[in-house]
Amino acid sequence: MRWKRTIQLLDVHAEGEIGRVAIGGVPKIPGETIAAQLHWLNTDPKGDELRRFLCLEPRGAPIGSVNLLLPARHPEADAAFIILQPDQAHASSGSNSICVTTALLESGIVEMQEPETTVTLETAAGLVKATATCRDGRCEKVRLTMVPSFVHELDVAIDTPHWGRIKADLCYGGIFYALVDVDQIGLKIEKANASGLVQAGMILKELINRDIKVVHPEIPAISGVAYVMFRDTEADGTVRTCTTMWPGRADRSPCGTGNSANLATLHARGKAKVGDVFTSKSIIGSQFEVGLQAVTEVAGRPAVIPTITGRGFTFGLTQVALDPFDPHPLGFALTDVWGPSAGDI
């Protein structure tokens, strides 16, 4: 076989959300920093080509992410990574950080120490400290100390053609989120409502990004609302979440960066303090433990340091290849599986 390109992927999921990890064959990504590499992936045709190759059909699928393992630039980091998804490259993700940590330890790229191994991950959003509980050669769970999360603006009014005026909190948890109380769209966060939730999320994301510009005050490469996360609070205080992602799907995990952003709103409203820990539950019922470790500032804004704890599971090993005669080197997406916006690809 005379393949033009091969990339080896370790298949991992974190509480149901797939985060494949590219452990071999990753090409050199230009840029002096991870943020600069993120920018290149999102703006250069060659970067776009790599993302499409890995994330679109026939080699990819609408669900999940591909994490590019990169050489660390920060002296304290053990490894760096950038998240590729069908829409673009992203700066940070809690579930993908758990997947990457699990992959690094269970593959032996980073030596596993029992009963606990600390791995420092470098992302475009900053350093994420992963503390893994390990036993019998397995990574049992991972506790992430996330990057500082902050509120951009609370209770932003959005006029919609479907639900009238609704309110959203625009917040940063490693990427920017619009956080919306789900009762405003007349739905509950249940598996049966996944289609309706993601359709609403895609509509709201487009409306928000059309009218409101958000840019990280210290990392210009991180801009725009990446996801709309619907939320609800159960009687016992559990936060139920559904993060909606292009091209129209629900995050299977409770969402680490989304819960980090939501924690910033709880702190801003006086509903969470340092030391508090709560459970977040996804649309499929999987759980993260969310904690408020400390408070800090980002460019003069109040911010919080969240912790996210969850489990990663390996489920396969894949080698993705490109036949030099393949007529679809850039991949494709159809509206039957990928949703209406796939027609724009």
Any binding-site annotation on 257?
yes
Any binding-site annotation on 223?
no
Amino acid letter, residue 108: G
3-class SS at 161?
coil
Say which residue the tokens 């998804």 belong to.
Answer: 85
User: How many alpha carbons lie under 13 Å from residue 319 in its C-beta half-sphere?
Assistant: 8
Length of the chain in residues, anyone?
A: 345
- Nearest Cα residue to 229 out of 201, 266, 202, 193: 201
3-state helix, strand, coil in the chain (%, to 5): 25, 40, 35
Amino acid letter, residue 20: R
DSSP letter string over 91-104?
A: S--HHHHHHHHHHH
List the catalytic residue out of 134, 255, 260, 286. Answer: 255
Q: What is the DSSP letter of 191?
A: G
Any binding-site annotation on 95?
yes
Cα–Cα dist 141/289, whole Å: 11
Any binding-site annotation on 236?
no
Q: How far apart are the first and last CA of the chain?
A: 30
3-class SS at 252?
coil
Instruction: Note if 242 is an active site residue.
Output: no
Cα–Cα dist 81/71, whole Å: 8
Cα–Cα dist 115/109, whole Å: 18
Residues in Cβ contact with 144 at an 8 Å cutoff, skipping those fewer than 6 apart: 94, 97, 98, 101, 128, 129, 130, 131, 256, 307, 308, 309
Instruction: Note if 92 is an active site residue.
Output: no
Q: List own/partner pairs for 190-195 with CB under 8 A and 24 or more apart.
A: 190/283, 191/283, 191/284, 194/242, 194/249, 194/250, 194/283
Q: How far from the centroid of its chain's Cα atoms is residue 102's Cα? A: 16
Backbone φ and ψ for 171, nearest 5 degrees, come out as: -145, 160
List the catalytic residue out of 93, 149, 260, 280. Answer: 93
In angstroms, the Cα distances linking 80 to 75, 160, 272 are 11, 39, 31
Residues tagged in the binding site annotation: 85, 94-95, 251, 256-257
Q: Show which residues are catalytic.
A: 93, 255
Residues tagged in the binding site annotation for substrate: 85, 94-95, 251, 256-257
